[in-house]
Amino acid sequence: MNWKNKKVLVTGGTGFVGSHLVSRLIELGAEVVTTNLLLEPKSYFAEQKLGEKVAVANVDITDFDAIHDLITKTYPEYIFHLAAQALVDVAFYNPLRTLDSNIMGTVNVLESARLYPKIKGIVVASSDKAYGKTNQKKYIEETPLRGDHPYEVSKSAADLICYSYFKTYGVPVTVSRFGNIYGEGDLNTSRIIPGALIALSRGETLQIRSDGKMVRDYLYVRDVVDGYLMLAENIDKKQGEAYNFGSNETLTVLEVLKTLEKSLGKKIPYKILNQAKNEIPYQSLNFSKIEKAFGWKPKYTITATAEKMRVWYEDILS
């Protein structure tokens, strides 16, 4: 599909993953509108001066009237819904905001699309957390959604609501579920890769909030953006479905740290805090469905991207 002159709405487009998606859509010639509440001055969006190339609307996705008004005034053909409260720890301490943002924010986007029938496709960004805790080593899309804490429940519920809007109203939506995303622009130091690279840049000891044994898939942000675009471009073929975005790097926190050290040739001192709450010990996604359907698979690795990320973090902090 040719994205040139296509009108696209990206909710949460000033965030870490959203800014990379916006950047790619600009390269492809799309006309992009994004929502924003608070722009981090050192964000990838700000650093790349993306605000000069897209329309930015100060809209909260929990405000239905504002979202509906934005859609009916900007006429998007495609929507990428990325805006969410994305942190497990924040969800523990502020469940109301998390549930409101992640569940009702998704409802507001889907309901607006139902009422504005010119939408050709919606890609909703979900997470491996939607599956909750399971004994399976590799989650498949048919694994039941069993979140049992606020963040996980918010993702399980939003995914089911997407399916409901497709099944009941024919809203052209598809869901992407991914593991831990890393790359330039992630300023959340509670995540292992940005935390390690920022600590390295500052000459500080890395504080690891978990026990260091949590296992996750690690997926580079550009692989995720490629997947989002692939889903949107094939929306006519596979509406109402969910797709896992997995990785060939399924690692513990400490294994990630060792990979970074080896790739960069630098020692990263750390301290185990073991303070993480409601974390799922092991999560990994089987991504054979999207690989078979559209040929998607991860192209990047931590080793291949480590130096580029190190330079970005060093530059942004200088």
Q: Among all residues, which ones are annotated catalytic?
A: 151
Question: Residue 269 belongs to what H/E stretch?
Answer: none
In whole angstroms, what is the distance from residue 221 CA to residue 32 CA? Answer: 19
Q: Are 163 and 243 in contact (CB under 8 A)?
A: no
Tell me the CB-side half-sphere exposure of residue 231, using CA atoms within 13 A: 30
Structure tokens of 130?
A: 């939607």
Using N-to-C axis directions, what is the helix angle for 192-202 and 253-264, rounded to 10°?
40
Structure tokens of 283?
A: 């999560």
In whole angstroms, what is the distance from residue 245 CA to residue 159 CA? Answer: 15
Residue 141 exposed, middle or buried by CB count within 10 Å (0-12, 13-18, 19+): middle
Question: Residue 245 belongs to what H/E stretch?
Answer: strand 242-245
- Contacts (Cβ under 8 Å, ≥6 apart) of 169: 114
- Show the beta-strand stretches assigned E in 152-288: 173-178, 180-182, 206-208, 215-220, 242-245, 250-252, 270-272
In whole angstroms, what is the distance from residue 116 CA to residue 67 CA? Answer: 12
Structure tokens of 173?
A: 């939506």
Can you tell me which residue has the tokens 């995540």? 191
- Contacts (Cβ under 8 Å, ≥6 apart) of 101: 61, 62, 83, 84, 85, 154
| Phi, psi (degrees; rounded to nearest 5) at 263 | -65, -35
